[in-house]
A and B are shown apart, each in its own frame.
Chain A
């Protein structure tokens, strides 16, 4: 059984590498056909990537600095979203009345895209907090809503079991509600982190700083240097992908009782 699983995994990796190679070949071919500086071939993009990594951009800021700065911003925004979203979601889920009576404020805010806040953010906030706020807006709602819905979806029978022994509310929250919602919270966090990362471009478009992956893209957009722009967007995609994969691994590790094979 296990051996089959392993060969299956290796095969999947093989297929993915193959797809990637085909994709790069098609890209090279099309760019060779077009011979346009607006459609650089993968090799040129790779060369630019190395240049950006080693020598830095037009202002001599290295690529690693851009990535690091952006990651710090998204973890700032994402962290704030977790710190506020999880407890608030738990609270609103446990006390339905509070949710019902404040719905009119929180629910409409959910539908305002983070980008719509940018003009207000520019006026009210400075520096690091500008970016963090926009990212926080993106990540907060999936985390908050995910937690809230999960609390409301706890199997009432699982609550009745300790209740029938006279358990306190605190015991029920600690032993039943929290373990029951944890997997959903982690999934909500994963979705939130993805959206936070997607918001990096929107956030860094605010400007006012010189470092950040989104800012780097904007710099080269003004110079119409396609190969550097592509380096930027590919990096955003790859980092988002890696963050997601790491999260999935952590989820599988923590919730053994969910993953376990049944007989």
Chain B
């Protein structure tokens, strides 16, 4: 395991509703951490907390020992909902992060061409979101998140809105990118198969108020075979764990 990057220990309330209850975990460098849990269990809240977009009611989230803050830390997030800015072209959208961080024009141009190629959007730079398909929009969001070369990449159910086939292709894609650039990733999903396919470690959230129900380290060889005995055994075990009613 790599060095410790993120240390989370939070409780989150909205008005009087407890969403996250004493959630405690760490994220290590180069890790592909997957958080699974039923829908509506506060996973998106967890993502927004990790991105520094929300402040916890109590507790803390630190990155390299400092309270997480998008103005200080190099974090990127891919949101669950389609997040392309309707009046920005693919190019303007993807270059946004680096522009905000004040990068050099040349660096922006080079890096963004790279990521556009990586997600297979070359030729679509001048298109508006309305002109491209749902899967392409999500690739724009992923490219935008990758462009800044983040120390910590958050993916909040990024493939939830995609059809099964596109979803499968995107999983392979994200795996390829992760293996190539070895980033630290926190990936949130409600799909257990997806979790076992991608993760180095899985954390299971309970239903509301969310608590951590279990943790698994997955060390199957990659690329993982969705039909291997070992894969199916782990999948079944986690599914069972998710279905336990307290």
A interface with B by C-beta (< 8 Å): 157-158, 160-167, 171, 175-176, 179-180, 256-258, 260-263
Q: Number of A-B pairs whose CB atoms are under 8 Å? A: 60
A164 near B130 (CB under 8 angstroms)? no
How many residues of B are counted as interface, with CB atoms below 8 angstroms from the partner's CB atoms? 28
Nearest-neighbor residue (CB-CB) of B136 within chain A: A263
Nearest-neighbor residue (CB-CB) of A167 within chain B: B100
Closest chain-A Cβ to B152's Cβ sits at a distance in Å of 11
B128 within 8 A of A: yes
How far, in whole Å, are A262 and B96 apart by their CA atoms in the complex? Answer: 23
Chain B residues with CB under 8 A of A176: 85
Nearest-neighbor residue (CB-CB) of A263 within chain B: B131
A257 near B53 (CB under 8 angstroms)? no
B72 near A166 (CB under 8 angstroms)? yes
21 chain-A/chain-B pairs, Cβ below 8 angstroms: A158-B83, A160-B48, A160-B53, A161-B85, A161-B144, A162-B96, A163-B53, A163-B70, A164-B52, A164-B76, A164-B77, A165-B76, A165-B96, A165-B148, A166-B70, A167-B100, A175-B96, A257-B87, A260-B128, A262-B131, A263-B132
B79 near A260 (CB under 8 angstroms)? no
Closest chain-A Cβ to B125's Cβ sits at a distance in Å of 15
* Interface of chain B: mostly helix, strand, loop or mixed: loop
B101 near A166 (CB under 8 angstroms)? yes
How far, in whole Å, are A261 and B132 apart by their CA atoms in the complex? Answer: 10
B72 near A260 (CB under 8 angstroms)? no
B96 near A257 (CB under 8 angstroms)? no
Closest chain-A Cβ to B133's Cβ sits at a distance in Å of 7
Chain B residues with CB under 8 A of A160: 48, 53, 79, 83
The A-contacting residues of B in range 129-148, CB under 8 angstroms, are: 130-133, 144, 148
* Interface of chain A: mostly helix, strand, loop or mixed: helix
B186 within 8 A of A: no
Q: Which of A158, A166, A167, A263 gathers most chain B CB within 10 Å?
A: A166
B100 near A162 (CB under 8 angstroms)? yes
B131 near A260 (CB under 8 angstroms)? yes
B49 within 8 A of A: no
With A164-B51, A164-B53 as contacts: A263 and B133 at CB distance below 8 Å: yes
Chain B residues with CB under 8 A of A175: 96
The A-contacting residues of B in range 60-82, CB under 8 angstroms, are: 69-72, 75-77, 79, 81
Which one of A161, A180, A257 lies within 8 Å of B128 (CB-CB)? A257
Chain A residues with CB under 8 A of B77: 164
B130 near A260 (CB under 8 angstroms)? yes
B81 near A157 (CB under 8 angstroms)? yes
Chain A residues with CB under 8 A of B96: 161-162, 165, 175
Chain A residues with CB under 8 A of B144: 161
B70 near A262 (CB under 8 angstroms)? no
Chain A residues with CB under 8 A of B85: 158, 161, 176
14 further contact pairs, Cβ within 8 A, besides A160-B79, A164-B77:
A160-B48, A162-B96, A162-B100, A164-B53, A164-B76, A165-B76, A165-B148, A166-B70, A166-B71, A166-B72, A171-B100, A257-B86, A260-B130, A261-B131
Chain B residues with CB under 8 A of A157: 79, 81, 83
A165 near B97 (CB under 8 angstroms)? yes
